[in-house]
Amino acid sequence: MATNIPADCLYAENHEWIRVAGDTARVGISDHAQDELTDVVYVELPEVGDSFAQGAPFAVVESVKAASDVFLPVAGEIIAINEDLADTPEAVNEEPYGKGWFVEIRISNPDELSSLMTPEAYAAYLETLG
Amino acid sequence: MTEPIIYELSVSGRSAAHLPALDVPPSPLPPAHLLRRELDLPEVSEPDLMRHYVRLSQLNYSVDTGMYPLGSCTMKYNPKVNEDAARIPSLLNVHPLQPAETAQGNLALMYGLQQALAEIGGFAGSSLQPAAGAQGELTGILMIRAWHRARGDTRRQVILVPDSAHGTNPASTSMAGLRAVEIRSDDRGNVDLEALAPHLNDQLAGIMLTNPNTLGLFDEHVCEVCRLVHEAGGLVYGDGANLNALMGIVKPAQLGIDVMHFNLHKTFSTPHGGGGPGAGPVGAGERLVDYLPGPIAVRKEGREGDQARYTLRMPAHSIGRMKAHYGHFAVLVRAYTYMRMLGAEGLRASSEAAVLNANYLQALLRGVFPLPHDRTCMHEFVLEGRLADAPGIRALDIAKRLMDYGYHPPTNYFPLIVPEALMIEPTETESKQELDRFASALRSIAEEARREPELLHNAPISAPVRRLDEVRAARDLVLSWTRPTRPAED
Amino acid sequence: MTYLPLTDRERVEMLARIGVPSTETLFQAVPEEVRYPELRLPAPLSEPEILAELRALGAQNVAVTDRACFLGAGACNHFVPSIVAHITSRSEFYTAYTPYQPEISQGTLQVIFEYQTMIARLTGMDVSNASHYDGATALAESLIMAQGVARGRRSRAVLAPSVNPVYREVARTYLQGTDVEIIDEGCGVTPQDWAAAVDDRTACLVVQTPDFYGRILDLRGIAEAVHARGALLIVLVDPISLGMLVPPGALGADIVIGDGQPLGIGLQYGGPYLGFFACRAEHVRRMSGRVVGQTVDVEGKRGFVMTLVTREQHIRREKATSNICTNQGLNVLAAAVYLSALGRSGLSQVANLCYQRAHYAASAIDALPGYSLDGDGLFFKEFVVHCPLPVQELNRRLLDEFDIIGGLDLSTVEAGRERDMLVCVTEMNPRAQIDRLVAALAEVAK
């Protein structure tokens, strides 16, 4: 089954997506990432008000046998977290770009967005990973 | 037929307690707000209690059930005399805070074991206090840190940890407030000297070496690594998890190890107890011996004709106490019993047989499953649990199928540097016939993997339960029993 | 004397199969100059010989067996029902290892699940782990956990000065490499004082009740005060006291810890014991140590597995909640059997016997000329007595002349308290023993 790469997001090398709306954005992990992780059982999220640099680990996503850091695609301040993930971590597997979002941020430096991959570039990137 | 939870066997008013009656005039109880109103513990009769736990015991696989080749865990036979020894009332019914003069026998035993461990490791002294291997690691890293600080050197924050190491190594380093830096292994499974080189600087506090390493290989660079680390001002921690290969073969201190823990529950035959308690005494060379945790037993020679006396003392620059009291004494009694019965020759013979058994089993399995590091192994070896002509099969499937053949599976998915790892440690107490049977079970499973992979995917079928849903356990946490609510009566 | 089954003939066959001429060849990777060192160990012993040697060592001890013992201070002489040893002696339990393979470890896993349930009920908390090494390391781990809950932003931990001094020492040893500052002096004498010492840089307050000196604390309002500062309340308890006293969970505690030694484990000259550890559900992912959870197998049958393993060292490595990778398995079994054997009424009965006999002893000693009780507060099974002569000397005479093991000489843990004795009374001290102690104390004070 082909992996889902929505056109309205940008992507980072560690398989995070970011959907920008003005100076804020939503962040989650890609369909490819959730598939690699297998069943997500827990997501550890930051607190609202925390700030992170581009590429800094801001969350941890756990399957039964693994825990992986999730990195912020661009620097920003956390303005909302997806509290529903506490009860329904499976949303990350089922709707990685929808109900399975992780956080909303206020983007610190919009210039950093240019370092991210377009959907086409991300699709090509996944090809190189085999 | 699941065994009920003990609470499900509970009937109000039953008890298995046989306690004395109150024989003193009653005093007033504390005020009501300090008293508890309910106490939800099971209420069962003694026969029900006995049967419940006997039935539970029968759901376990154990060393006394059959071969348990769990790599890096040294599941050797646990001699029964050890158990009798650890129940001698005059040794065990002693309070740890009694004055030393009233516990001379126990202190003599502890001293004897301290000396024996130091001798086996080539160390200047040892402390029996650490409760387990992981606590021994934390102890050793805290000692290394304290040694550097005592010399005024606070910059050294880095502990090097090979990529084949147990997860406890980096975790212990973090707990000690130091930074774990992973270094890779080379093609032969040794510490990669090129990867080591850039870290040999004034940030280096030390390195943690498991030797033989978790691939079951004696590191061919061990002396060189120790020399380089020492030259750079660092110290060497030895993870003694795999000492069962080396008793009387080499003293780790003579390879350059400064401080090392012993796993008495592995090497010295004390039982694993379903996950504990074990014991993780630490031995140290001249540089670190005064930093050992304590108190430890010390011997004072008697004046002519008088018996030697034993006391407890904190080492001069001790890092402190790692736990209350002096160690897992009942475990120490078992290890002492084992050490005294085997003596130097018996310990050496045990290590030789452990290595012989592992190499023999490795020879039997060569060609059955991929052997990524094909060289003489020590007490264990690592196979890849995958087959080119059975693509759907993973190490997990092989492990589960072994249960249907009556064996405990090897360690799987560790070490992390071997894909689909199956880490096999037969130990010295298995016979040649048992090793032959185990090898034919694995050969047979490899055949099934090709012909009838479903047998593996569905395994185990003969265990008390089938494969369990670990995702559900982690998502819907149920960590204690809850009483079902009764349906409302109309 | 070894446990090796291989015969010489089999060795030869095995070496041939391996393709090496001798066993020594297998050790060629070991540098030759250090290979096969001499080990200077005592000569090996046979089974009867080692047992005789151990019994001879035992004869040099003064065991509490059949002797009056009033020594406690964190390890107490409680009764161990016969059934405990019979179950823990089943080798299906004691020769198994960590239940890595749940399908063939359901016995161990269900025992842990039952233990977790009983500890949660006993302490009044939501969840319990599968145990730490002992009460002291449970305290150290609870401080690390409180740091985790505070996400490393609160570097102080306030410990009541009446927390077992050895435990405080262990906590200091554990945390010496971290930035955590342990404050256990100058923070007052009442629970209200300690709560007031909690500020916005403090991750937790630790109190012990009954405290090291046996006193029962009134903790009403303390949890609220500590929570108002954004910190956690950690309560260290004697599990036997929970047969009578209000559980810390009902007082708002966030973490409850203690030593399970009284729960069917015995004195064992200090170990192995059992560190029990329970917390509120919201903090379960910050709790270290093994945890067992309930699930089902592919056929829908109830079963148990180790869960939340991503907190642990074998997965999280340097970011793990702790380096611990075992629990006190066999002692967990002992505690589960003990709590089941005693049950609801039995544990209450043990607690009541301890309380009543301790109070009987305390008032009798207090009435002796030269002796007086320290303070007039509530206590459970231990209390401090001011003595007319140094406790060290007094204890020597109690043992030599009356065959009684006296209470703790407090000067061994606190400077300047040479005449203070911490006396512990349990269900193992019948009235006749207490009367003998009182008479002996009167005699030695003459």
> What is the pLDDT, as a whole number, of residue B487?
63
Range of the domain at A99: 10-129
Are A47 and C151 a contacting pair at CB < 8 A? Answer: yes
Are B475 and A65 a contacting pair at CB < 8 A? Answer: no
Last residue of a domain, one of B302, B320, B341: B341
Is 0.95 surpassed by the pTM of this model?
yes
Residues of C whose CB is below 8 A from A63: 310
Q: Which position has the higher pLDDT, C365 or A38?
A: C365
Residues 335-374 of C with CB under 8 A from B: 336-337, 339-350, 352-353, 355-357, 359-360, 363
Count of domains in chain B? 3
Angle formed by the axes of helices B395-404 and B432-451, to 10°?
A: 120
**A18: closest CA of chain C, how far (Å):** 26
B475 Cβ under 8 Å from any chain A Cβ: yes
Mean residue pLDDT of chain B comes to: 96
Share of chain C above pLDDT 70, in %: 100
Q: Over the stretch C415-428, which tens digit does the pLDDT of each residue have?
A: 999 999 999 999 99
Is residue C110 a contact partner of residue C261, using CB atoms and an 8 Å limit?
no
Q: Does the residue B483 lie in any domain?
A: no
Name B219's Cβ contacts closer than 8 Å, sequence gap at least 6: B189, B190, B191, B209, B211, B212, B213, B225, C29
**A41: closest CA of chain B, how far (Å):** 5
Count of CA atoms in the C-beta half-sphere (13 A) of C245:
25
Average pLDDT of the residues in B466-472: 96
3-state SS of chain C? CCCCCCCHHHHHHHHHHHCCCCCHHHHCCCCHHHCCCCCCCCCCCCHHHHHHHHHHHHCCECCCCCCEECCCCCCCCCCCCHHHHHHHCCHHHHCCCCCCCHHHEHHHHHHHHHHHHHHHHHHCCCEECCCECCHHHHHHHHHHHHHHHCCCCCCEEEECCCCCHHHHHHHHHHHCCCCCEEECCCCCCCHHHHHHCCCCCEEEEEEECCCCCCECCCCCCHHHHHHHCCCEEEEECCHHHHHCECCHHHHCCCEEEEECCCCCCCCHHHCCCCEEEEECHHHHHHCCCCCEEEEEECCCCEEEEECCHHHCHHHHHHHCCCCCCCCCHHHHHHHHHHHHHHHHHHHHHHHHHHHHHHHHHHHHHHCCCCCEECCCCCECCEEEEECCCCHHHHHHHHHHHHCEECCEEHHHCCCCCCCEEEEECCCCCCHHHHHHHHHHHHHHHC
Instruction: Clarify whether residues B318 and B377 are in a common domain.
Output: no
Task: Decide: helix, strand or coil at residue B7.
Answer: helix
Average pLDDT of the residues in B469-484: 94
> What is the pLDDT, as a whole number, of residue C336?
98
Residue C128 tokens read as 């319990």
B97 Cβ under 8 Å from any chain C Cβ: yes
Is residue B281 a contact partner of residue B322, using CB atoms and an 8 Å limit?
no
Alpha-carbon distance of C321 to C130, in angstroms, equals: 15
Are C173 and B40 a contacting pair at CB < 8 A? Answer: no
Residues 37-66 of A with CB under 8 A from C: 41-42, 44, 47, 62-66
Alpha-carbon distance of B351 to B271, in angstroms, equals: 18
Residue B364 confidence (pLDDT) above 70: yes
Q: Over the stretch B225-273, which tens digit does the pLDDT of each residue have?
A: 999 999 999 999 999 999 999 999 999 999 999 999 999 999 999 999 9
Residues 137-176 of C with CB under 8 A from B: 137, 144, 164, 166-167, 169-170, 172-174, 176
Q: Does the residue B98 lie in any domain?
A: yes
Alpha-carbon distance of B248 to B244, in angstroms, equals: 10
Are C151 and A67 a contacting pair at CB < 8 A? Answer: no
Degrees (nearest 5) of the Cα angle C29, C34, C39? 120
Select from A47, A61, A64 the residue whose CB has the most chain C CBs within 10 Å, as the one to mutate to test that interface: A64
Instruction: Clarify whether residues B105 and B243 are in a common domain.
Output: yes
Instruction: Clarify whether residues B402 and B451 are in a common domain.
Output: yes
Which strand ranges, in their side-by-side order, compose the sheet holding C382-386? C372-373, C382-386, C420-424, C408-409
Q: Which CATH architecture has domain C68-79+343-445?
A: Alpha-Beta Complex (3.90)
Instruction: Clarify whether residues B137 and B272 are in a common domain.
Output: yes
* CB-count exposure of residue B68 (10 Å: 0-12, 13-18, 19+): buried
Select from B7, B56, B251, B350 the residue whose CB has the most chain C CBs within 10 Å, as the one to mutate to test that interface: B56
The count of CB pairs under 8 A between chains B and C is: 685
Could you tell me the CA-to-CA distances from A47 to B303, C112, C228, C231, C311 in Å, in that order? 68, 34, 19, 17, 19
**C199: closest CA of chain B, how far (Å):** 24
Nearest alpha carbon to residue C97 among C387, C306, C317 = C306
Nearest alpha carbon to residue B137 among C326, C146, C130 = C326
Residues of A whose CB is below 8 A from B470: 64
**A40: closest CA of chain B, how far (Å):** 8
Q: Does the residue B489 lie in any domain?
A: no
> What is the pLDDT, as a whole number, of residue B1?
62
Could you tell me the CA-to-CA distances from C54 to B89, B332, C41, C51 in Å, in that order? 11, 12, 17, 5
Q: Would you list the domain boundaries of chain C?
A: 68-79+343-445, 82-338
Confidence of residue B490 (pLDDT cuts 50, 70, 90): very low
Residues of B whose CB is below 8 A from A89: 475
> What is the pLDDT, as a whole number, of residue A1?
53
Residue B307 confidence (pLDDT) above 90: no
* A2 DSSP assignment: P
A87 Cβ under 8 Å from any chain C Cβ: no
Q: Does the residue A1 lie in any domain?
A: no
Q: Over the stretch C104-135, which tens digit does the pLDDT of each residue have?
A: 999 999 999 999 999 999 999 999 999 999 99
Alpha-carbon distance of B171 to C323, in angstroms, equals: 5
Range of the domain at B454: 343-473
Select from B468, B470, B471 the residue whose CB has the most chain A CBs within 10 Å, as the one to mutate to test that interface: B471
Instruction: Clarify whether residues B155 and B199 are in a common domain.
Output: yes
Is residue B247 a contact partner of residue B276, using CB atoms and an 8 Å limit?
no
Chain C CA closest to residue A61: C310
> What is the pLDDT, as a whole number, of residue B488?
54
Could you tell me the CA-to-CA distances from B482 to A102, B139, C128, C280, C336 in Å, in that order? 32, 40, 14, 16, 17
Instruction: Clarify whether residues B335 and B243 are in a common domain.
Output: yes
Name B332's Cβ contacts closer than 8 Å, sequence gap at least 6: B109, B110, B113, B128, B264, B279, B281
The dihedral built from the CA positions of residue B219, B220, B221 and B223, taken in this order, carries a sign that is positive
Residue C173 confidence (pLDDT) above 90: yes
CATH number assigned to the domain comprising residue A44: 2.40.50.100
Residue B207 tokens read as 């390195």
Average pLDDT of the residues in B378-393: 96
Average pLDDT of the residues in C143-149: 95
Torsion region of B270: left, alpha or beta (phi above 0 gives left; psi -120 to 50 gives alpha): beta
DSSP string, B334-390: HHHHHHHHHHHHHHHHHHHHHHHHHHHHHHHHBTTB--SS-S--SS-EEEE--BTTB
**B197: closest CA of chain C, how far (Å):** 22
Alpha-carbon distance of B485 to C347, in angstroms, equals: 26
Count of domains in chain A? 1
Residues of A whose CB is below 8 A from C316: 67
Chain A CA closest to residue C308: A64
Look at the domain C82-338 and name its fold.
Aspartate Aminotransferase; domain 2 (3.40.640)
Instruction: Clarify whether residues B428 and B465 are in a common domain.
Output: yes
Q: Does the residue A121 lie in any domain?
A: yes
> What is the pLDDT, as a whole number, of residue B303?
84
Degrees (nearest 5) of the Cα angle B247, B248, B251? 80
Share of chain B above pLDDT 90, in %: 94
Residue C1 tokens read as 């004397």
Instruction: Clarify whether residues B408 and B327 are in a common domain.
Output: no
Alpha-carbon distance of B211 to B232, in angstroms, equals: 21
Alpha-carbon distance of B403 to B390, in angstroms, equals: 20
DSSP string, B18-81: --PPP-SPPPPPPPGGGB-S--------HHHHHHHHHHHHTTB--TTTS---BTTT------HH
Residues of A whose CB is below 8 A from B475: 39, 41-42, 89-90
* B463 DSSP assignment: S
Angle formed by the axes of helices C431-445 and C391-402, to 10°?
A: 120
Name C72's Cβ contacts closer than 8 Å, sequence gap at least 6: C381, C382, C407, C408, C422, C423, C424, C426
Instruction: Clarify whether residues B253 and B374 are in a common domain.
Output: no
Chain A CA closest to residue B470: A64
Instruction: Clarify whether residues B257 and B132 are in a common domain.
Output: yes
A60 Cβ under 8 Å from any chain B Cβ: no
Q: Over the stretch C282-330, which tens digit does the pLDDT of each residue have?
A: 999 999 999 999 999 999 999 999 999 888 888 788 888 888 888 999 9
Are A67 and C285 a contacting pair at CB < 8 A? Answer: no
Residue for token digits 């513990």?
A: B41
Could you tell me the CA-to-CA distances from C386 to C368, C373, C401, C407, C410 in Å, in that order? 11, 6, 21, 12, 10
